[in-house]
Chain A
Amino acid sequence: EQQVQQSPASLVLQEAENAELQCSFSIFTNQVQWFYQRPGGRLVSLLYNPSGTKQSGRLTSTTVIKERRSSLHISSSQITDSGTYLCAKNTGYQNFYFGKGTSLTVIP
């Protein structure tokens, strides 16, 4: 069973547009982490958001525990934002389950 589902699978934006990425969980979680990855590159932690709304620069994450979902909003997208965004949940037993990611392409 896919415990973490992400949508959309891919997204193309023009520079300066906003992006909204979604993550849903088949099983309750209160530990949600968003990561960023360049093609074939290292994963970098963006935001840890167990509940409510968290912001870091142009990134805003909203997690609604009872609805088992989390979103990542990217405002004023830049070409350098292109890459794959993954969300993950921590089961609490040191096992992070990852979604398959959303591939974001920002064009001029």
Chain B
Amino acid sequence: EAAVTQSPRNKVTVTGGNVTLSCRQTNSHNYMYWYRQDTGHGLRLIHYSYGAGNLQIGDVPDGYKATRTTQEDFFLLLELASPSQTSLYFCASSEGLRAETLYFGSGTRLTVL
């Protein structure tokens, strides 16, 4: 079973604050993803990466940066957090180009006051 670990589990910040969400996967998957989940919208892709140093833009990238430092580690950065970024964030990973499934972390609940 693929292991994807996210931290922190919960985070509260203020408008304009800096936030970094961390994700580590331990199965040497090539692809990693950041999603946000909101009521009424479902899961939406923010950024994804297919290897260290690579970054691809997803469907809702505005206000977010991401960095893939190693095969295992993928970070999501909110440099000027806004209340609209209050959400449940999931990291996921997958194997090859036509992966059958995604392996998800437990999520980070972010509240921006």
Interface size bucket, B side? 20 to 34
Flag whether A90 is at the interface (Cβ < 8 A).
yes
Contact between chains at B50 and A94 (CB < 8 Å): yes
Contact between chains at B97 and A94 (CB < 8 Å): yes
- Chain A residues 25 to 44 lying within 8 A of chain B, measured CB to CB, are 31, 33, 40-44
Q: Nearest-CB distance from B29 to chain A (Å)?
A: 11
Contact between chains at A48 and B100 (CB < 8 Å): yes
Most chain B CB inside 10 Å of its own CB: which residue of A94, A96, A100: A94
Contact between chains at B43 and A92 (CB < 8 Å): no
Contact with B along A83-99 (1 / 0, CB 8 A): 00010101010111011
By a CB distance below 8 angstroms, the chain A residues around B102 are: 33, 43, 45, 88, 96
Contact between chains at A94 and B94 (CB < 8 Å): yes
Contact with A along B72-113 (1 / 0, CB 8 A): 000000000000000010101010011111111111010000
**Which of B33, B48, B101 makes the CB contact (< 8 A) with A33?**
B101
By a CB distance below 8 angstroms, the chain B residues around A42 are: 90, 104-107
Contact between chains at B42 and A43 (CB < 8 Å): no
